[in-house]
Amino acid sequence: MTERNVTVIPATKSFIHRTVNPAARKRRVAGYARVSTDKDEQFTSYEAQVDYYTQFIRRHADWEFVKVYTDEGISGLETRKRDGFNEMIEDAMSGTIDLIITKSVSRFARNTVDSLVTIRKLKDKGVEVYFEKENIYSLDGKGELLLTIMSSLAQEESRSISENVTWGQRKRFSDGKVSLPYKQFLGYERGEKKDDPPVVNQEQAVIVRRIYRTFMEGKTVGAIAKELTEEGVPTPAGKDKWRASTINSILQNEKYRGSALLQKCFTTDFLTKKQKVNEGEVPQYYIEHSHEAIIDPLEWDAVQEEIKRRKQIGRAYSGTSVFSAKLVCGDCGGWYGHKTWHSTDKYRTTIWRCNHKYSDEKCQCQTPAVTEDEIRSRFLKVFNSIIASKKPYISACLTAKKAITDTSKIDAEMNDLLREMEVVAGLTKKCIEENSTTVQDQEEYTARYNGYVDRYETLKSRYDALAAERQSKLEKAKAIDRFLHTVKSREDLLTEFDPHLWMTTVENVTITADGKMLFRFFDGTEIYG
């Protein structure tokens, strides 16, 4: 066997460095101070940190003071939003800093990855970080191991704090305590004490009520936003320009009816602070009468129904008139649209007729055109007939409501389906466990497993259909209640057309070939006028 021959290649790089004369080259030193809370005593601590590191650096004759970099009210969990920190790192990487002094690992960063990546990046540039509390120098031989341990502990501390904060929030939710982002929430302001419910800001509430009212008078959210912008009304965030999305948010926020749905969103990662819309992953809490309402609950419900109606009819709704997408052709079932006759002379008149009457050659509609005055006068006549016979009408409505909205049979069937679904789910789980622990014929197992799955999906499909039917009945009950409330509140006959009343009571009007109008109200009542 040939003997191994090992040749030693001697090192050529010397580890002996020339000593630099301190007078010729001072070490450039910067401090970093951060507080992550808005408490006054912490800001005092922040000022003290700045002063402390300024004096601390200047006391060293062989150090050259660069700057104390600061961040106020910023979390240490991530470095992306810390302007002072990022400026310091940029300066260090450009060669203007040799040493960074900070109070502790947790003041530098509470995210292990961010902390180590930054320190290693600085290390490559020869920049050292000194953590005073832990007495750690990053360029020391033991520095990186100690930093890894300390950063992990700091990260776990942040996790613990995050979990405690989340627990506290959910405890507040379950106790029915409501808090709003008051600086960007129109209509409410904070109560005198910490746990007091939101208090109505009467000046801002006028704008909220106006938005709801004008929407129910037929205007689109875009038109409302444009109108408020032109009038110089500030947005909830204090900006000049209103957006349709802001109006939509105000119209659909249950806080304005005096209720609160809590935990609509939740934080998925305590490190990134990323939030997600709650789609059933964590509990939600709905509180009725949690605070004073700005919009009557029945009015708020009516707005939600109108929003849904406009979505269903889509582009058919123009928002140019309260009669838009309300008039139906009795012959073809299409919408009536508005047209202008004599647009250039004194006989100018707005009429409504079937949109297909002359635009579609196949259309055989015989329904007539109607003027807006005709529609208004017939609505007054029909609605006044209800007011004139208010007591018997209300009694009949209540009887009809009881029959139409009874969900007892649906509830019983849904409960039976739930129990059966639980049994099937249990059998499916048992089937899987048996297959994982004992040898079975896989074709037989697959057939049995698929049978359970098919059975479960059939039950679930039926359950969902019943749930939708039940919800429809409940919405019908709300519609009847809203209509009855309107009828009860009217003591006198109408003398002039009320666009808000029209929008909140009339579902649609079918115009027949003989010129009659069938008014269908939201409670299901149908009356010819």
Three-state SS annotation for 387-405? HHCHHHHHHHHHHHHHHHC
Q: Give per-residue burial for 464-500: e unless 16+ CB within 10 Å, then b.
A: eebeeebeeeeebbbbbbbbbebbeebeeeeeebbeb
Which residues, at least 6 apart from 216, have a Cβ–Cβ distance to it below 8 Å? 299, 302, 303, 306, 500, 503, 504
User: Quick one: tokens of 301?
Assistant: 């419900």
Q: Could you please state the CATH topology (level 3) that the domain comprising 27-161 is classified under.
A: Rossmann fold (3.40.50)
CATH number attached to the domain at 182-313? 3.90.1750.20
Q: Are 130 and 101 in contact (CB under 8 A)?
A: yes
Would you say the C-alpha torsion 314, 230, 213, 236 has a positive or negative sign?
positive
Q: Domain spans of the chain?
A: 27-161, 182-313, 377-521
Judge whether 194 and 173 are in contact, CB under 8 Å: no
Q: Is the pTM of this model over 0.85?
A: no
Q: CA 512, CA 317: separation in Å to the nearest integer?
A: 21
136: helix, strand or coil:
strand
* Short-list 356, 305, 359, 358, CA closest to 333: 356
Cβ atoms within 10 Å, residue 192:
6
Question: Would you give per-residue pLDDT tens digits along the chain (529 residues)?
Answer: 455 555 444 544 443 333 444 445 789 999 998 765 444 444 446 677 788 888 989 998 889 999 999 887 555 444 556 788 889 999 999 999 999 999 887 777 656 667 777 888 888 888 999 988 878 888 876 666 666 665 566 556 556 655 555 554 555 555 556 667 778 889 988 888 777 788 899 999 999 999 999 998 888 999 999 999 999 999 998 899 999 999 999 999 888 988 877 666 655 554 445 666 655 555 666 677 778 899 998 889 889 988 988 888 877 777 778 898 899 999 988 899 888 776 667 777 888 998 887 766 666 788 999 999 999 999 999 999 999 888 888 888 888 888 888 899 999 999 999 999 999 999 999 988 888 888 888 889 899 999 999 999 999 999 999 999 998 888 888 888 888 888 888 888 989 999 888 988 899 999 999 999 999 998 888 999 8
Over the range 210-245, which residues count as b (16 or more CB within 10 Å of their CB) and which as e? Answer: ebbbbbbebbbbebbbbebbeeeeebbeeeeebeee
